[in-house]
């Protein structure tokens, strides 16, 4: 084996600031009964959607702490939408992030989606367990960036 490759952040010093916007989405598949409990506000740990939204916002703001080579950037707006999808037996999460920066916000949007979905999972675990303590119907899927834009400031 040769010498290890260098690990460093990408130098964005010479890039101009621009309005950066990215949207990511993902799903968590849950049992129909669990979705009903979420809708009716009967999940023991509390309000699933409010908790997941707050988790997403916090994660977006801290993305560079979790993704080691990501630049810490000023976040100017975060929108989080959670919606029950009856046909898919799932909760869909969509996170849109904006910043005026020299680099994009795709990672921040993805981290927000992941945090929201993980919080839904955590809050709904007792409702999803089977007799062996496993989660055969529960799956986090389809996480991806669905759009990104860069708008020059000048």
Annotated catalytic sites, by residue? Answer: 122
Q: Which of 91, 108, 19, 102 is nearest to 57 (CA)?
A: 108
Between CA 111 and CA 61 the distance in angstroms is: 9
Pairing, β 77-85 against β 90-101? antiparallel
**Cα 44 to chain centroid, rounded:** 23
């Amino acid at each position: 084996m040769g010498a290890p490759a260098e690990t460093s952040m990408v130098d964005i010093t010479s890039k101009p600031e621009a309005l950066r916007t990215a949207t990511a989405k993902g799903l968590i598949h849950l049992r129909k009964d669990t979705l009903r409990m979420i809708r009716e506000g009967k999940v023991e740990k509390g309000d699933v959607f409010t908790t997941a939204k707050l988790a997403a916002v916090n994660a977006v703001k801290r993305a560079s702490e979790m993704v080691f080579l990501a630049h810490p950037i000023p976040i100017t707006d975060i929108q989080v939408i959670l919606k029950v999808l009856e046909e898919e037996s799932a909760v869909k999460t969509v996170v849109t992030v904006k910043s005026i920066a020299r680099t994009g916000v795709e990672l921040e949007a993805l981290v927000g989606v992941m945090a929201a979905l993980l919080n839904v999972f955590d809050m709904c675990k007792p409702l999803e367990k089977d007799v062996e303590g496993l989660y055969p119907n529960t799956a986090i899927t389809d996480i991806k960036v669905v759009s990104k834009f860069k708008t020059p400031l000048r």
